[in-house]
A and B are shown apart, each in its own frame.
Chain A
Amino acid sequence: MEKSLIELSHVTKSFPVAAGIFQALKDVNIEIGQNEMIAITGKSGSGKSTLLNILTGIDKPTSGSVIINGVRVDKLSESELASWRGKNIGVVFQFFQLLPTLTIAENVMLPMDFCNTYPKKERRERALALLDLVEIKEQADKFPSALSGGQQQRAAIARALANDPPIIVADEPTGNLDSQTALSIIKLFATLAASGKTVIVVTHEKEFSTWFHNSIAISDGVIVTEKEVLV
């Protein structure tokens, strides 16, 4: 394995609840390299969303360290995190979460605006290129409500790629799509992984397991298996 892009060491995460302290993650150690396509699996409440939040810097660990692309993420301030996340991680949600009052192209241009990553004049051109990559270029000037679920998810992936981040994180990206569309999205992720991105996908759907290099199964906050899956 090449040098790790993502390195979680002894990560624990606790939440205060009415009954006392709930440990969502218990001494988790993970290393993920470049160009990998990883699946995170587990039952509801197992801690996979917490793990994803820690990986994206949305949440901070109670203890342990998170190093991503050489940056100690758990030590960054909120505003440093926002900017870091925008440039290093592309997030894809289950319900697409496109902003309803912006067109598809504008949704893709928004991360570039926030992170000031590309010259203003080049942003639309880049957005169209990304939409072309996810095969919905012709939908660029439509509003999200005019698109099908699969098209919206493709647009969300294009948005995740806007700032050319090395890591793409997707939280059950096919959970709201029919099986044909879901397969096309997984294929798209595989293409991205093949092109040099590290793709981490939280999924329930076992039929796509063959598309992943690795799978991290989590149960009660503990990594139970980490097995290699051959493509």
Chain B
Amino acid sequence: MRIRYLKVLRDLTSDYGKNFMLVLAIAIGVFGIGVILGGYSVITREMKKNYMGTIPASATLEMRDSIPKELMESVRSFPGIKDAERHATIVARMKVGEKWYPLLLFVVDDFNDMRTNKFNRISGALEPPSKTMLVERTALVMMQAKEGDNIVIKTPNGNPAEVKISGIVHDPGLAPAWQEQAGYAYIALSTLEQLGENPEFDQLRILVDANNMSAPHIRQKASELADALNKHGHFVEEIQVPPPGKHPHQGQMNAVLTIFIVFSFLTLILGSILVATSMQTLMVKHVRQIGIMKTIGATSGQITGIYFFMMILICLVAMLFVPPSHAAASLLYNQVAALLNLEITDRSIPVIVPIIQVIAGISIPLIAAAFPVIRGSKISVRAALDNYGLSKKEEKKSTGSSAMVTKFFGETINLSFRNVFRHRSRLVMTISLLAAGGAMFMTALNVSEAWNTNLKRIYKQRLYDVELKFNKAIYTDSLLAKIKSVQGVKGVEAWSYSPTALVKENSFEVTSAYPDKGHGSFTIQAMPVPTTMLNPTITSGRWLNNANGNDALLNQNAKAIVPNIKIGDNISLAVNRKPTTWRVIGFTEDVGSPATVYVSIDAFARLTNSSGKVKMLRVAYDDRSIPNVSQKNLEIEKLLEKENVPLSQSIPAWLLQNAIASHMKVLINSLLAMAVLMALVGTLGLMSTMSMNVMERTREIGVMRAIGATPKKIRTLIAWEGLIIGTLSLFAAFALSLLFSSLMGNFIGNMSFRTPLSLTISLTAMAIWVVIIGGGSYAATLYPARRAGKLSTREALAYE
């Protein structure tokens, strides 16, 4: 080995503590990238494999009437259709304890010959016997039940009845039940009849035979089939084409993982800044050696090469963290898999992940360290040999501010101030490092708090506590008064709603709804004007104030469907297959609502010929606590039962909030984990730079000792330097955190609600960071300051 490289190896092994810190700084970033990218790649691959393995239907045709079995052969032989299956989905309710939760009942034509949206059997029956059901594995938690238990179920037209769980299945096409705060079960047609519903299938699921990943092609083929069915008297009401090949939560997951990737690269950059700072200190410490090497014949290029080689070695040692990062990735993908209801079958990390880790883990620190290394290598021989570890910079004349500092804080602090500002470029780098770490730490906590604040807006916007949906439109005049008289009821309003779609000339209504009827849905909600149950955030235009007007407001998700629409435009929406025209008067920003259009119930009734009848009630209670709401809901439901009102769904506002909170649980937990990581890297950086700052001035400390400074005085001086640098970084960190929080809040808010999260400043985050910086600065300088104070004057002066 060349002697110059041998020197590098010896230099590295001569100071384990400091070099380990450098390795750790890079390793944390490389580790983070490995965990996130590893998890990301496994999840992306497995999501596709799991979801596509279910053979998701290309489209679902909602039929007006029952689909006869003999129709299926003609559908299957229709040009462009590969396969088809009859199906039915019933939105029922299940009783868990004393509470009712939504339950999606999927009615399967032939369990032994499922052609679309298949599931994987886990245990129990292959085909559920009559009056039993197969339950999706994630729904067991919601049902608080196990295989063999009975669950009370109530379908829209039936009476509550016990149904036994005869088997457990896994359906990767469905989001976890606990996340949706609903149950999923699969039953045979005979069970549906026993539950009080008509034994019929009204959904036609199809698979197109070519171009099955193209939504326009699927829509085209589904429309052609619908045309043909209509001509033969089988009327199609709606066509649902979910995004082909995409899991309902795929977009959301991609966004979450993208944030993590950004964070992990930021961690690496942060670590690299630390490395750059350390390299700068090292170059200063090695300046005389550089001078000697140049004197004996080394060129600047050779010196640069030596220190780059040192950097590469440090980076290569950090690469030892690549394999453990892949093991840790399993923690991430297992958690995300649970969130997406996936089963990981192949845990291998693609080879591209370690390649990216190695490239990023070497190139980013090298780029960061390039400036101090090249600048240090280019130092002239004379400047290098003249360096005695003492600042040769001439102090400018004492300024007024310096005199002020002396007057108020004393000479020691004044001297600390001067020392802090002596090496400006290093100060900037140290502050940048601390500010970046602090900003990211506070951003993670700010965004987490902003998310919680936004969740609370659910209650501020929804002034009702429970939404009661009926199977069919009913007259509610007397019912409203009876509910109002229940003690604790603050108010009740009759609303209506209907699934809707944009009307396009000569074509069928095509929505993007998934089989769970929740994801991708588009609804029109009709309310009394004025209403006391909704307090929407109006982003532009005005709220409904004319009960008879055809006015409509679109929330942000509805606007995303018609992005070019503006106030004053007309919008045509299909309600029960009939086109209705509305004038857009404004836009709202809702938390947790699917695409929704808000209209007056009077105008809605007029346009849909349903005057006086409604399909939904919204009830508000005086006490909005969950126990009270649950109790009151039971009372109201009993009242409805007594009044023979066919209740299909009862959705409390807290259930909605829980569902939304569950959707983003992983993101929020991970943000908190990121915050801890950032605090770790930041503290590491702080301790590293501060202690090196002191170490390199050991000789100067010797001079101070020689001229009479006591060890205590030196310790105080250095501790103050640490605190001053820490305090300066706090201001930069706070300012930067506002920018980061705003950007990330926009990203996460838009991804989840299509509306930015409001900028929230977490005082807890600020306080924690102040403590970390204050304590860290003091602790980081304490040891080297004490060590420097203990050195004899002779030792300090001889320090290299």
User: Are A113 and B292 within 8 A (Cβ)?
Assistant: no
Partner of B3, one of A78, A87, A106: A106
Q: Which residue of B lies closest to A162 (CB)?
A: B296
User: Are B6 and A86 within 8 A (Cβ)?
Assistant: no
Q: Is A147 an interface residue (CB 8 A)?
A: no
Mask of A105-147 contacts with B, CB within 8 angstroms, 1/0? 0100111011100001001000000000000000000000000
Q: Is A20 an interface residue (CB 8 A)?
A: no
User: Are B382 and A58 within 8 A (Cβ)?
Assistant: yes
Q: In the bound complex, how far is the Cα of B297 from the Cα of A83, in angstroms?
A: 5
User: Are B3 and A110 within 8 A (Cβ)?
Assistant: yes
Mask of B1-31 contacts with A, CB within 8 angstroms, 1/0? 0111011001100100000000000000000
Contacts of A219 on B, CB cut-off 8 Å? none
Contacts of B6 on A, CB cut-off 8 Å? 102, 106
Interface stretch (choices B47-55, B299-307, B554-562, B760-768): B299-307
Nearest CB of A to B208, in Å: 69
* Interface residues in B279-296 (C-beta closer than 8 Å to A): 288-289, 292-296
User: Are B299 and A113 within 8 A (Cβ)?
Assistant: no
User: Are B301 and A79 within 8 A (Cβ)?
Assistant: yes
Chain B interface residue count, CB cutoff 8 Å, equals 27
Q: Is A48 an interface residue (CB 8 A)?
A: no
- With A18-B394, A79-B300 as known contacts, state yes or no: A113 contacts B294, CB within 8 Å: no
Contacts of A102 on B, CB cut-off 8 Å? 3, 6-7, 10
Nearest CB of A to B21, in Å: 19
Mask of A73-99 contacts with B, CB within 8 angstroms, 1/0? 000001100110111001101000101
What's the count of A-B pairs with C-beta under 8 Å? 77
Q: In the bound complex, how far is the Cα of B685 from the Cα of A223, in angstroms?
A: 54
* Interface residues in A9-48 (C-beta closer than 8 Å to B): 18
Q: In the bound complex, how far is the Cα of B3 from the Cα of A93, in angstroms?
A: 21
User: Are A82 and B297 within 8 A (Cβ)?
Assistant: yes
Q: In the bound complex, how far is the Cα of B3 from the Cα of A113, in angstroms?
A: 7
Q: In the bound complex, how far is the Cα of B410 from the Cα of A143, in angstroms?
A: 46
Q: Is A197 an interface residue (CB 8 A)?
A: no
User: Are B301 and A113 within 8 A (Cβ)?
Assistant: no
Nearest CB of A to B742, in Å: 48
Contacts of B299 on A, CB cut-off 8 Å? 78-79, 82-83, 114
Q: Is B479 an interface residue (CB 8 A)?
A: no
Q: Is B162 an interface residue (CB 8 A)?
A: no
User: Are A100 and B800 within 8 A (Cβ)?
Assistant: yes
Partner of B295, one of A18, A58, A79: A58
User: Are A109 and B300 within 8 A (Cβ)?
Assistant: no
Contacts of A59 on B, CB cut-off 8 Å? 382
Contacts of B289 on A, CB cut-off 8 Å? 99
Q: Is B96 an interface residue (CB 8 A)?
A: no
Q: In the bound complex, how far is the Cα of B297 from the Cα of A163, in angstroms?
A: 9
Point out which of B10, B14, B295, B381 has the most chain A C-beta atoms below 10 A from its C-beta.
B295
A-B contact pairs, 22 of them (CB 8 A): A18-B394, A53-B382, A58-B385, A78-B299, A78-B380, A79-B299, A85-B295, A86-B298, A90-B296, A91-B296, A100-B800, A102-B10, A110-B3, A110-B7, A110-B296, A111-B297, A113-B4, A114-B4, A114-B293, A114-B298, A120-B2, A159-B296
Residue ranges of A at the interface with B (Cβ–Cβ < 8 Å): 18, 53, 56, 58-59, 78-79, 82-83, 85-87, 90-91, 93, 97, 99-102, 106, 109-111, 113-115, 120, 123, 159-160, 162-163
Residue ranges of B at the interface with A (Cβ–Cβ < 8 Å): 2-4, 6-7, 10-11, 14, 288-289, 292-302, 380-382, 385, 394, 800
